[in-house]
Each structure stands twice: as C-alpha cells, then as structure tokens.
Amino acid sequence: MKLSSSVLALSLLTCGTAFAAPSATPDPMKPFPAAEAGMVRKVIHLPSVANPELYRVQLLPGKVMEVDCNRSRLSGTMTEKTAEGWGFNYWVVDQVQPGPSTMMACPPNAKKKQEFVAIYSEQLHRYNAKLPLVVYVPEGIELRYRVFSAKEKTKTAVNQ
C-alpha cells in the first residue's frame, strides 16, 4: 500500500502535534470554593517529607494585637468541611472575638507590645504534601501554623 506524500505529511504532523502538546496542569485550588464576602482563603502548601505519618500540623488563626503582660487568646470556631464532589477537607474560621486572658496585675512600668494572638487549638491535622491545607478566615485574620514531628523510634509502656 502506497501513501501519498500529503497523507503521510498530514499523519506525521497530527502525531507530532499530539505528542508535543503541553499537558494541562491541574489547578490545585479547583476543588475548593471561592472565599465568601468578608472572608479570605488562606492556603498552606507543605513540602514533601520522607515519612509524613510522623508529622502533624497545628493551625493558628489570629492577628497581631497590642497586649500587656497578661497572656491573651482569641476565641472563635474552626469548622471542618468537605469540598462537594471532591472529598477534600477544608476549614472555616468564624465568630472571632476577644477570648480568655490571664488577669495578673502588670507592673506599673510594664509597656504594652504588639504580639500575635491566636485562637488556640490543640487539634493537630494530618500532614499531606500532596494536597494544600485550605482555611477560610475573616478579613483581618492571618493564619500561622506549626509543624510537629515525632521520632521514628517508639518506646514501650510498662505493666504496673
């Protein structure tokens, strides 16, 4: 079977284009809804680590405020939600307001200072470098986070 030169050229052009076409990079934010009015979407991209099961992430929404010698916190709620149709989790922080504070008498010469005050949470989230951690916070609230890691070697409890 003999192919004409124009058919052969068209076949080569079509095959070459199929292989040379740039692959579309998926948008990692596509599953997550846009921020509602008065809210901001904060995103944390974690780096890859060798043993992610040994790591956890603590989310700390808060803001820089003027504080005295007392320890201050903000109060608020952090609700976990699931992106519809995707199954990926995200968090929504709301009802942010002044929270508990120690009530110590500060020394007379103590100066107020600017300090990050957080909504404290002991909840630790699974470490996953493949998906972003997405948190919606009210405007004016920033999101900080800590990464905790455990040692690979475990200890054994004793019977008593």
Q: Where are the domains of the chain?
A: 35-149
- 3-state class (DSSP) for residue 119: strand
> Each residue's pLDDT tens digit in the chain (160 positions)?
454 444 444 444 444 444 444 556 678 899 999 999 999 999 999 999 999 999 999 999 999 999 999 999 999 999 999 999 999 999 999 999 998 899 899 998 889 999 999 998 889 999 999 999 999 999 999 999 999 999 999 999 999 9
CA distances to 12, 22, 72, 95, 138 from 64, rounded to whole Å, are 62, 44, 11, 17, 14
User: What ranges in the chain are assigned the alpha helix state H?
Assistant: 5-20
CA max distance for the chain: 100
Confidence (pTM) = 0.79
> Which of 155, 159, 123, 154 lies closest to 51 in space, CA to CA?
154
> Which of 71, 69, 77, 61 lies closest to 110 in space, CA to CA?
69
* Tokens representing residue 146 in the block: 């800590």
Distance CA 148, CA 128 (A): 13
Q: Does domain 35-149 have CATH number 1.10.3720.10?
A: no
Distance CA 89, CA 136 (A): 12
Task: Look at residue 19 in the predicted model and tell me its pLDDT.
Answer: 45
Distance CA 127, CA 133 (A): 9
